[in-house]
Structures are given as structure tokens and as C-alpha cells.
A and B are shown apart, each in its own frame.
Chain A
Amino acid sequence: MRRALLLCVFGLSLAAFGNPRPAWDTADTGNKGSYSIGVFNPLRLAFTDRLELQAHPLFFFVAPHLDARFAILKNPVENGEPPTGVRLTAEAGLLMPTLGMRLMKGFFFPTWATSTNDVGFMLIPRVGLLVSGNFFTHDVATFRIEGRMRIPIGPNSATPLNSFLAPLEIVMAAPLTGFLGRAGASYDHAFGDTFRLRGEVNVYLTGQQGNLVAGGINQGVIAEINPFIVTAHLNLDIAVFKHSRIAVGVLWANYDQGASEVRTGADGFSERVRVRSNNILPTLDFIWSGF
């Protein structure tokens, strides 16, 4: 504990106090050679001043994927200087989640011990568009839309999880429902050179639950789940070392997990009504950057 505190103080003392850290998860792309990586945030490498490639090292080997980010509108800017003007960036990527999903068999998916049912092979292409603009020099507002869909490669028996974690539902939406759409907005405010406060809201639209196929036979439609997921994220960035930051926050998510609650009337009799579920989750990351 003592060591951690010392490291933190040491890190803060090394923080660069020329400009605040740039806002992250915006339309901004780095200049050639710049990079960033977090524990949960992706590894992002700029190959030119307009093109970045990104992937999550944690998941890459069980769910191979790669995303490209291309700056359509970008004013030239020196490393470490705040970006200017309106930035527009297009994103495109491809994911093959089957191996990772198969590792979840027995827990989130059936083992299918007595049949040939299995998680099928599939590709998940993704496209997105982000637009960012500055307010008060260092504050950044970002709007984004994004879409993912499933391209099946052979039969698939996996059905939606309807799990207790909305972020897991979001990650698995395209592989399991065939579609995930996202519209979101964020505002990132700099408090001096050391802190940034970021608020973000997203609305996700998943595909339908689909049909239940067992033993190669279509058994009918899986029970309906409301396809909208809403999230809000509040995050505090603390600048440490030369270019890095610690990100701590809280995520709220609201979604349909099939929950119901009993409401009792004046006559003493009750009624069961369907309700949406909530998650309130802490978020924590260390994002290491450089040019």
C-alpha cells in the first residue's frame, strides 16, 4: 500500500504539465509512430498521420480481430499539442469470435455433450464514424455511430446469453443476435493539466434473439428481449508519468435481462411485471501512451 502510494506520488510528479493529456476514445488519430495501450483499452498504433490500427492484446489470441481508424478530416498538429477544428474519423474492423466463445462452453454456453451442436464459425465486420470538436481549447465533444453484423460461416447453435452483465451482452450482441448498432456521445473536460473528467452515454440496439435450433431442427422463436441497451459512463483520468494516465470510473447500464418483479395491490394480491435490469460497475485502467 505504501509502495503504491509512493509510486502514485512519483508518477504524478513526473506528469507533464505543459498540456493536459489528450481526450481518449475520440475521433482523434495520432501522428505516425504514436501509440497507446491499456489493460482494457486497445493497443493503438499510428502507421501514418491519418491511419491507426488497433486490437485488444488480452483477447486477440482467443478472438482474433483488427480495427483500422482512418482520419477523414484532421488538421495537422504537433505531438502533444491539442487537436484543432472538427475531426472526422471512419473505423472498420473484423472479428472472429468463435474460439473464445467455445472456451466459454460449459459456463455461458452448453457443452452439447450428446449432440453435434456447437458454437459456429462466424465473422463480425464492424464500421463506425466518429466526429469530434473542441470547446475551451482542451475540452472535446465526440459523437459516434457504429454497426456490427454477423456473417455466419456454417451452422451455429449458440443463442444469446441474457447475462447479468450488460457489457458482456454488448460484446456478444453481434455474434449472438447478428447485429449491434451504437449511437453515442461523450464530453471530456480538462481540469488543469492532471485531471480529465469524461462523461459518455450510449444507446445500443441489438439484433433479435433469433430462432432456437436444436438437433438441426428449428424449434421456434427464442423469447423476446428488448433490444435496447443504454449505458452511461463517468470517468476520471489522472495523468501519470510522461504520457500515461490512470482511468477510474463508474459505468451504469440499463437493459432487459428478462427480470420481473412482484407488485402487490391493495387487495393483497400480487402481479408479476417485467422490468429492466441495471448494472453499476466500477471501471479501472492504466493507459500507457507515447509518440
Chain B
Amino acid sequence: MRRLLLLVFLAATGCEWIADPQNFTREDIPRFKAKAEHPAPIENPTQLKVMAWNVKYGACRVDFWFDFWGDRVQLSTAEVNDCLTKIAALIKEYDPDILLTEEIEVGSKRSAYVDMVQFLLENTNLRYAAYDETWDARYVPSEGVGRIQLGNAIFSRYPIVKAERIRQEDRTDQDVLTKTFYIKRAIGRAEIEVGNDRRVAAMVVHTEAYDFDGTKQKQIKQIFDVLKAEQLPWVIGGDWNELPPVCDEKAEPTSAEGCEGKLRLSGFLDERASSKGTEYEQPPYTPSVMKPYYDDFEPSLPLARYGVGDAAQRPFFTHTVLGPDGVNDEGTPGWWNRTLDYLFVRKGEVWSNTDVLQEPGRLGITGDPSRLSDHAPVVGTWSLP
């Protein structure tokens, strides 16, 4: 009976999922390549420049309804192309060997059905890409969102010889209808041939942002386990939607391990009161869940450099919902106000020239990342083991 219903449903929608349930544990994903000629990368490199960036579906600083600073649901073609052109220009300025992107879309109504993977392939020096789809709905019947095809992507100047995605846990705190049309999460993994028969693994992640049932924490733990099991030299980047483990949020706030004065856990300048009680309310952060990463892996920005307290940490914040051209309800202009994005490699390996590209001038860039997404790119040079 179930199969019959499924067949009837698929027939009604012309054999296309109305919302892909993504029933896989681990599966291969498509690889793409640039049609345009790009300069060849250095042969047999000893180091790779890596960039991780949540590109906010090419919306730049347009505030969507779930941001609570605006109520847009859709972009014009010109808006998307203009934003992507600037994003591509910034990527080209930094010129990474590996780019790890989240919230990249390939056929969504809200981003004018632009294939952003191909756009970046044609307009940067990156020659190969693997697209890890995490949200594929023929029509999301909420706020006129419509068709959504969103995911993470791994770009490389060196050939991607294998690509796959590893399914992450779904939320359990949603009704069936919401869950059906909601984003799924997956770890994107690509094997990259860097010469001399050497392969490295590049991974990209984007964990849950709005759950109140511990889904994000489970996903972060799963990513940790996948990294522990990885056989190739690896680099991972992405948006963990979690703060760095400067302190333990479970400890008494004023104790030695507590967070008071060391790390802001709530009351960020870009949080709007009207978001409270909605499905886009910011759940409490649990930075301690990131501690194993700092203990067992090599972050691009170690905690010693990150510092203690807002003032020290400010240069390394990677996220703000409110852009620099907006002001919050207290009249404070928007600016990066927390760190959610990271790069890690295996323990003992070496990072150099690491930074968060918050504004023009950082590592010599002239583009302005604060106007290109609600996340700043995290970058670093990874010395190959």
C-alpha cells in the first residue's frame, strides 16, 4: 500500500520528488568542472591555500524574512549575478587552491535559479567542484519560498577524483509537514589529486542552526567521528553554527571554566526581539561541544590567538545577521559579532597565514566581505604532510 501511494505521488509530481527525503547514508555526488580556461596550479604543491565561506545563496546583504531585519523571499537575476560577481572577485583575490562553501544554490527560486557552482567555476581560478546537496524541494509552501536546491560545495584547482556525501541526523523537534520540506544536513567529502599520486580529502560541513533538541550537537559529534576515521590527509571547513570552546557553558558563569567575561553566549547585537518564540529563534550555544576539535585537531585559529572576551575576539568573528549598513533597535550598526566558521586539519599539521577576511585590507584583499554574505571567509595555508 505504501509503495502504491508513493507511486501515485511520484506520478502526480511527474516523477520528481516534491521534497527529496535524501535517504542515503553515504553516496557519491556529482563532480563538475570549469568550461573556461584557468591557469594551471603549481605542480606537486607542498602547501594549499584553503578558504571556507558560507556564501548565503548569493544574497549578499539582502535581509530575508527569517533574518528578522527584512522580509524578502526572492532576489532578482541582477541582484544574484551582481552579488556572485563580487563573491567570485573576492575568491579570485585570495585565490585559494581549495574552497569550501556552504549555502550555495544551483536552482532555487529565491536565487533566480542560478547555478552558483558553475558560476564560481567559470569566474574564479577553481577548476573542479563537487556539489553536496542538502536541500532539494520542488516547492516549499512557506512564505512563497518555492523551489529550493541548496547545498555545500568543494572547489579545487586540482582534480577532484572522487566525491561523496555522508548523511547527518535530522531534527526531531518538527512536525511531519515541516520536516518534509526542511533542510537536511550532510558532510561533503572530496578526494583531490595533488600530484605525485598524492591524494588529500577536503570536507565541508554546515550543521543545524535552529534546533532545540540537540541535533546540532549530534551532528558536530558525527563530524568529529568521521574525521577521526579519515585515512587520507584532510582539511575540513564550514559553518558549525557553534561558538569556539573558550569556556564551558555548563560551568558556573563566574568560575574558572565559566563563560562570563570570556565568551558571549547570548544577547548578540544582531538578534532581534521579534525572533523570540519563532522557528528562527537562536537556540542556546554550547561551545563545549567544539572542545574535542581543539584538543584533537589543528584549528586555523588556535584559542590562544582567539583570545578572551569580546574585544580580543572581535577580529576573528565570522558571522552577523545585521550588515554594516543596518542598525539594530538600539541604533548600533551591524558588525561581525560571533565565530561560527572554522578550518581544521589533523593534529600536528601546520597552518600559516590564517585569518578571517572581515573587511578590506585583511591579507591584502580589496573586496568587502562584510557586504557579500552574513558570514566572513575563514582562510589559511595548509602545509601538506
Q: Which residues of A contact B (CB under 8 A)?
A: 106-115, 117, 159, 161-164, 211-212, 214, 219-224, 257-260, 262, 264, 268-272, 274, 277-282
Least Cβ–Cβ distance between A257 and chain B, in angstroms: 7
- Chain B residues closer than 8 Å to A269, beta-carbon distance: 31-33
- Chain A residues closer than 8 Å to B144, beta-carbon distance: 107-110, 159, 161
B113 touches A258 (CB 8 A): yes
- Chain A residues closer than 8 Å to B69, beta-carbon distance: 114
Pull 10 A–B residue pairs with CB atoms less than 8 Å apart, ordered by A. Answer: A110-B71, A114-B65, A159-B144, A164-B13, A212-B79, A221-B76, A221-B78, A222-B77, A260-B115, A271-B32
- The residue of chain A having its C-beta at the shortest distance from the C-beta of B139 within the complex is A164
Among A111, A163, A223, A274, contact of B112 (Cβ-Cβ < 8 Å): A223
Q: Which of B65, B72, B76, B112 has the most C-beta atoms of chain A within 10 angstroms of its own C-beta?
A: B76
B31 touches A270 (CB 8 A): yes
Interface residues in B160-187 (C-beta closer than 8 Å to A): none
Interface presence of B256 (CB below 8 A): no
Among A111, A159, A164, contact of B138 (Cβ-Cβ < 8 Å): A164
- Chain A residues closer than 8 Å to B143, beta-carbon distance: 106-107, 109-111
Interface size on B, residues (CB 8 A): 42
Residue-wise, chain B 1-34 has the 8 Å CB interface mask toward A (1 for contact) of: 0000000000111111010000000000011110
Given contacts A113-B65, A272-B106, 19 further A-B contacts (CB under 8 A): A109-B144, A110-B73, A112-B71, A115-B70, A115-B71, A164-B139, A212-B75, A219-B78, A221-B76, A224-B77, A258-B113, A258-B146, A260-B107, A260-B115, A269-B33, A270-B30, A279-B12, A280-B11, A281-B12
A278 touches B15 (CB 8 A): yes
- The residue of chain B having its C-beta at the shortest distance from the C-beta of A218 within the complex is B76
A-B contact count (CB 8 A): 119
B74 touches A159 (CB 8 A): yes
Question: Known interface pairs A162-B147, A268-B31. Does A258 touch B107 (Cβ–Cβ under 8 Å)?
Answer: yes
B112 touches A222 (CB 8 A): yes
Interface residues in B57-88 (C-beta closer than 8 Å to A): 65, 68-79
Question: Known interface pairs A259-B107, A262-B30, A280-B12. Does A161 touch B146 (Cβ–Cβ under 8 Å)?
Answer: yes
Q: How far is the CA of A282 from the CA of B9 in the complex (A)?
A: 11
Least Cβ–Cβ distance between B280 and chain A, in angstroms: 12
- Chain B residues closer than 8 Å to A282, beta-carbon distance: 12
- Chain A residues closer than 8 Å to B106, beta-carbon distance: 260, 272
B141 touches A108 (CB 8 A): yes
Top 3 A-B pairs, shortest CB-CB distance: A278-B14, A220-B76, A220-B78
Among B33, B74, B115, B149, contact of A222 (Cβ-Cβ < 8 Å): B74
- Chain A residues closer than 8 Å to B141, beta-carbon distance: 107-108
A220 touches B146 (CB 8 A): no
Among B13, B77, B115, contact of A279 (Cβ-Cβ < 8 Å): B13
Least Cβ–Cβ distance between A251 and chain B, in angstroms: 10
Interface presence of B109 (CB below 8 A): yes
B147 touches A257 (CB 8 A): yes
Q: How far is the CA of A219 from the CA of B81 in the complex (A)?
A: 12
